[in-house]
Amino acid sequence: MLTPSLFYLANLLFCLAYMVRDMAWLRAITILAATSTLPYFYFQSAPLYSAIGWQTAFIIINAINLTILLLQRRPVKLDEQEQWLQSTTLRLLKPRKMLRLLRLAKTHEIPAGEPLIHQGQKLNALLLLLSGKLSVQVEGQPRATLKPGDFVGEMSFISGQLTSADVVADEPARYLEWPADALDRLYARDSEIKDALQGALGMDMASKLARQAT
Ligand SMILES: Nc1ncnc2c1ncn2[C@@H]1O[C@@H]2COP(=O)(O)O[C@H]2[C@H]1O
C-alpha cells in the first residue's frame, strides 16, 4: 500500500517540478520525485531493475546540474575596486559577469603629461579610467575632462573608426584596457555581458554629453 502511494506522490512531484520556473527547484523536486519511484519499482513481484536504472540515471544527471547551478549562484566576493565598479560604471552587470569581464582586462599606469590616445589612431581597445584625470583635446584645443569611472576610446570601439581625439593624462592615471578582439569573442559567448556592457557604454556617453552641456 505504501509503495503505490509513494508512486502516486512521485507523479504529483513530477507535475509540481514541471510547473516551477526556477531551474534549481525544478531539478531538486525532480530528484525527490525520481527517488520516490524507486521503492515502487523495487517492490514489484519481480523488481523492475531497468526502470530503477533509468530513474537513477535521471537522479544523477539532475544532481550534477543542480550542484553546478548552486555553485554558480554562490555570492561573489568583490575587492574595493570591484565594489566601486559594480556600484558605478559596471552596475548593469551582475557581479559574477562583471568579474568575468574584468578578467579580460589589463591594468596600466601612466605618468602625468603622457598621451594615452592619439587622434586618428586605430586603437583596437576599450579603456576604463580607474584613477587620475585625463584631458581630451582636438587639434590642441581642450574638449573634455575624463574622470575615474569614465570609459575612454569607447567611440572608436563602438564605431570601428579611428580615434576622434588626443587623450592626455593631466595627473598620474591608472586604467583598464580590454583588447577589442577579446571583447568580441566574449560578446559571442555571452549575450548578457554584451547587452550590459553596451548599456554601460550608452550611459557613459549620455553622462559625457550631459557634462558637456553644463
Ligand atoms: N566630446 C568628448 N567628451 C568626452 N570624451 C570625448 C569627447 N570626444 C572624445 N572623447 C574621448 O576621447 C576618445 C578618443 O578616442 P575615441 O574616439 O575612441 O573615444 C573618445 C572618447 O573616449
Please, is 63 exposed, middle or buried when counting C-beta atoms within 10 Å of its C-beta (0-12, 13-18, 19+)?
Answer: middle
C-alpha 118 to ligand 1 mean position (Å): 11
Render pLDDT for 159-211 as a digit per residue (tens, 0 to 9).
Answer: 999 999 999 999 999 999 999 999 999 999 999 999 999 999 999 999 999 99
Render pLDDT for 60-96 as a digit per residue (tens, 0 to 9).
Answer: 999 999 999 999 888 899 999 999 999 999 999 999 9
> Hey, which residues does 174 pair with through a beta bridge?
109, 131
Render pLDDT for 24-53 as a digit per residue (tens, 0 to 9).
Answer: 999 999 999 999 999 999 999 999 999 999
C-alpha 205 to ligand 1 mean position (Å): 9
Q: State the closest ligand 1 atom to the C-alpha of 157, by its place in the atom list counted from 1.
A: 18
Report CA-CA distances (Å) from 128 to 83, 86, 153: 15, 13, 9
- pLDDT value of residue 122: 97
- Beta-carbon neighbour count of residue 183 at 10 Å? 19
C-alpha 136 to ligand 1 mean position (Å): 7
ipTM over 0.90? The verdict is: yes
C-alpha 156 to ligand 1 mean position (Å): 8
C-alpha 164 to ligand 1 mean position (Å): 6
Q: State the closest ligand 1 atom to the C-alpha of 156, by its place in the atom list counted from 1.
A: 18
- Say which amino acid occupies 109: E
- Give ligand 1 pocket residues (Cβ under 6 A): 117, 123, 136, 143-144, 152-156, 163-165, 167, 208, 212
Its sign, for the CA torsion 119, 120, 123, 126, is positive
- Say which amino acid occupies 139: E
- Mutation probe of ligand 1 site: the residue of 123, 133, 143 with most atoms within 8 A of C-beta: 143
Ligand 1 atom 19 nearest Cα: 153
Does 15 have pLDDT greater than 80?
Answer: yes
Q: What percent of the chain has pLDDT over 90?
A: 93
CA–CA separation, 135 and 204 (whole Å) = 16
- Cα dihedral value 170, 120, 176, 193, nearest 10: 140
CATH 2.60.120.10 fits 87-213, yes or no: yes
C-alpha 90 to ligand 1 mean position (Å): 19
- What is the β-pairing status of strands 151-152 and 106-110? unpaired
